[in-house]
Every structure is written in C-alpha cells, then in structure tokens.
Structure 1
C-alpha cells in the first residue's frame, strides 16, 4: 500500500512547525510582540504577514526585530515603508538583517533565503509611526535546543 505525504506533513518536513498569529493592529510608534520563543533557541525558516485591514497612506518604516530575554534587541530586517499597503498585501523577510522587509501588493512575496537563529525572547514588529491597519502573521521554525518552542504573542 502506498502512503501519501499530505501537504501539512510535507511543509513540516521542509520548514518545521507552523505557528499562526491572529490578525492584530499595527504597533503604534512602538514594537509589538508577534511571537514568543521559549525553552531554547529556534531556527526560523519562514515568516510572512498578510494585511487584513488596509494600512493608511502615511509613511511608516516597519521592520522585524528579535528581543532576547538576555541581551539587546537585534534587527531581523531593515525597514520598509508600509504606507497604503492594501488588503492581501504581503510582508516577508530575506533572513539578512541588512535587507529591508519585503512587501508586495499580493500574490507573492520573497521569504527567508537564510534561516535565522533566534534566542529565547520575542519576535516583534517595530513601527516608526501610528498607522491604521491590521496584519496576520505565520512563522515556521525548527527547535535547535530540546524543549524550544514558538507561540503566538
């Protein structure tokens, strides 16, 4: 008998465990937590946001950051202006801290070419302005330390 690998099983084999975060408004001139890393280090293999409520047309330089429980905040991407990003717009990161967060008006977006090791703490979204808009996020990861996990913040 042939056993077929289902889509979710293949995704898990290639990218690790997926965690989804419900849509939430953008942080207002602040950093808001998207995900919590606990129990040890994880290898982030993908992270993508999808706009569910359009972002207002006002400049808002936005980036992903890692805030460890021990140490200093580290950029996971450089900033991109998310002004006027419509419903269905996508955000992704390349995996290089110096590369801007990638945005698209929908249909497709680049994602991690370089998986990123993240320590215990938080993965967050830093916004330079106070804009309306809401984004839902998904992350995939592989635990590097036994007992490491990621949960939606």
Structure 2
C-alpha cells in the first residue's frame, strides 16, 4: 500500500499555513490585509495575483502596522500602474538593500519567499491608485505558541 501526500499537505510542510485576501478595487487609501495575533510569525512567502488590470499610476506598498512600535515597510513604494500591470500578473519582491526594503516586481524578476519574522499587528496595503484588484497570498509559521494570521 502506498501513501500519497497531497499538494496542500506538501505546501503546509514546506511553507506553513496559507491565507489569502483580495484588495477589492484599489482606492487611494490604506487598507488592512492580514491580522497577526498572539505573537510573532515567520512569513515564509507572499505574492500578489493581479485579478483586474492596474492601468493608472499607482504608488503601492505593503507595510506592517504593529500593535506596539512603529509602522515599517515590508516593501518600498513602487509604481505598479503607469506601465500597466495586467490581470494574471504576479507581484513578487525584488532584493532588499542595506538601506531600503525590496520593491514589488513582476513574476520572473523577484521572489515570493520572504522568510521574515513579523509581530502582532496588521499587514496593510497603501495604494495611491484607483483601479485594479490584487489577491494577496501569504504562508506563515507560528514562532510563538498561539500565534495566528487571518485575513483582515
């Protein structure tokens, strides 16, 4: 008798628990995407699937707004709309430098792996544009007993 490990089981073993959240139609505002509670978590991967094309100039970034402490950028503000970001594109992270966080990049040029520890609070997106929709996919592992990540 053979044992077959299913795709979701492999993903869970390799990357942790998966959670997704759609931005809805982007607006010039800050909106919570994910809530981290109960302690620190290791974000193993995060990527955005563009489900409706982004066609107007849009300085866009992700940030952690912690329960205590200062808000910190997860990625640097990047214009994802002047050169259209089309439905079906995947947004990933470029390389960080010693003085700046990574910028968002289209598939093929970046990575979905983050391997970064975040504390309790909310992961938010900050958008300056007014069109397009992104579904953010995140995988995580608890670093503190009882820690969770849920869609906000």
TM-score, reference length from structure 2:
0.87
Confirm whether residue 13 of structure 1 aligns to residue 16 of structure 2: no
Q: Unmatched 5+ residue regions in structure 1?
A: none
Distance 1:16 1:38 in 2: 16
- Alpha-carbon distance in 1 for matches of 2:10, 2:102: 28
User: Once the two structures are superposed, what CA deviation does each residue of 1:109-130 show, in whole Å capped at 9, x if it has no partner?
Assistant: 6324441111100011112x23
Return the offset for 1:91.
1.0
Moved over 6 A (4+): none
Q: How many residues align?
A: 147
Give the superposed CA RMSD.
1.8
Alpha-carbon deviations, 1:55-101, whole Å to 9, x = none? 12x32121111110101110111122111211111112257452211
The match for 2:58 is 60
Aligned to 1:145: 144
Distance 1:144-1:95 versus aligned 2 partners, 3 A rule: farther
Q: In the TM superposition, what is the alpha-carbon distance from 1:54 to its structure 2 partner?
A: 1.2
What TM-score do you get using the length of structure 1 for normalisation?
0.87
1:133 counterpart residue number: 132
Quick check: 1:102 aligned with 2:101?
A: no
CA distance in 2 between counterparts of 1:146 and 1:135 reads 31
